[in-house]
């Protein structure tokens, strides 16, 4: 799929080995509500791509019909909805770039620290959170040895 501003997409997830992990869904409509995997396409969250200035291949992912964006908690790495009241380019919300390896990589403050969508249980903090919901999605540094990045497919809507 050719990415462009204002495209509406759903995110399909798979493991590095190609195991289907369903679609991505935000669990509510509030600031900091988490995202989960393993939902059906019908229940998946529709996202609208918003172009990052001066970056043809990076986008903010806004939840359709809202002021919420995909972001991640800097304290626990949990992928979550983040409410933006300012123009998104002036906020601390992350932008995302789809890599050649089909991973969604963070673009934060104009830099790419190689943080990507990952399956849970990479560290004790994540294991504690997933005790209540094993389908939570995290974002973590790909350089650490235990990270299991999700492969991402963007499905046009």
pLDDT tens digits for 6-28?
999 999 999 888 999 999 999 99
Mean pLDDT of 75-84: 89
DSSP assignments along 12-34, one per residue: EEE-TT--EEEEEEESSSSTTPB
Distances in Å between the alpha carbon of 95 and those of 67, 118, 130?
Answer: 15, 16, 25
Higher pLDDT, 54 or 152: 152
Domain boundaries, the chain: 8-156
pLDDT tens digits for 119-135?
665 555 666 666 567 88
Mean pLDDT of 89-104: 90
Answer CATH for 8-156 from 2.80.10.50, 1.10.490.10, 1.10.275.10, 3.20.20.10:
2.80.10.50
pLDDT tens digits for 56-72?
889 999 999 999 999 98
């Amino acid at each position: 799929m050719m990415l462009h501003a204002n495209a509406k997409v759903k995110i399909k997830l798979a493991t590095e080995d190609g195991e289907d992990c369903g679609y991505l869904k935000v669990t509510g409509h509030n600031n900091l509500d988490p995202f989960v995997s393993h939902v059906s396409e019908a229940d998946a969250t529709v996202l609208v791509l918003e172009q990052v200035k001066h970056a043809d291949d990076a986008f903010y992912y806004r939840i359709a019909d809202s002021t919420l964006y995909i972001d991640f908690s800097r304290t626990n790495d949990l992928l979550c909805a983040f409410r933006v009241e300012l123009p998104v380019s002036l906020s601390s919300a992350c932008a995302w770039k789809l890599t050649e390896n089909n991973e969604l990589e963070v673009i934060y403050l104009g830099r790419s620290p190689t943080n990507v969508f990952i399956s849970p249980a990479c560290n004790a903090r994540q294991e504690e959170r997933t005790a209540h919901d094993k389908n939570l999605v995290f974002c973590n540094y790909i350089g650490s040895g235990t990270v299991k990045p999700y492969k991402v497919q963007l499905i046009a809507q």
